[in-house]
Amino acid sequence: MPEAEGPFERIPEPALQEVLVELGRLYPDADCELRHENALQLLIATILSAQSTDVRVNQVTETLFRRYRSAGDFAAADPAVFEQEIRTTGFFRNKTKNVLGAARKMVDDFGGEVPDTMEELVTLPGVARKTANVVLGTWFGKPVGVVVDTHIGRLARRLGITPETAPVRVERDLMNRLPRDQWISMGHAIIWHGRRVCSARRPDCGNCTLAGWCPRNGLPGC
């Protein structure tokens, strides 16, 4: 749902650096909230998280990851059964097609392993830059890009980092304005802040320690 906000106001570089310091102070342990024990589980959970919540996905994968332990297991799954196993995450037919298709490609082309490059990951069904960045950053520790989900897109505009709305353009601006060694940590921190303080409908500006730097503080839409 588009935000009813006024003209974009770019945050100056010195203020942006202070915002990054504050986000690091607020969320020193920020990490991906999708439960996983390996790259495969993280990849599957991230595909399932589209148009769903991490809480819901974690409820589903608690059982799912006990039944399916390898890419081969997922590749051999009965689609009709799998659809019902993930039904509550929403869009279950398309997600089933993507998960099982990605698993088959990993078995056929990558020895059953999750590839660790952007170029290879985005060849998997259901995997675009966002999902690839989650896996590369969270599991492999590779700052190839910046995860752009709804929280990051919203906060990047509210904080004056980018006027863009298209994820690819938002990511480009974040990569230009954030230090590369913070692409992973700040991605997680911004997501946590979006979930805990700066929500879409009711941002808690009164209790937000970023308010002093935020161009949207107290304005309509915030």
User: Is residue 41 a contact partner of residue 65, using CB atoms and an 8 Å limit?
Assistant: yes
Write out the catalytic residue numbers.
130, 149
Sign of the C-alpha dihedral computed for residues 91, 92, 95 and 97 taken in this order: negative
pLDDT recorded at residue 5: 57
Burial code of 77-98, b = ≥16 C-beta within 10 A, e = fewer?
A: beeeebbebbeebeebeebbeb
User: Is residue 107 a contact partner of residue 75, using CB atoms and an 8 Å limit?
Assistant: yes
pTM for this entry:
0.93
**Residue-wise pLDDT tens for the chain (222 aa)?**
344 456 889 999 999 999 999 999 999 999 999 999 999 999 999 999 999 999 999 999 999 999 999 999 999 999 999 999 999 999 999 999 999 999 999 999 999 999 999 999 999 999 999 999 999 999 999 999 999 999 999 999 999 999 999 999 999 999 999 999 999 999 999 999 999 999 998 899 999 999 999 988 766 566
Burial code of 178-214, b = ≥16 C-beta within 10 A, e = fewer?
A: beeebbbbbbbbbbbbbeebbeeeebebeebebbebb
pLDDT recorded at residue 3: 47
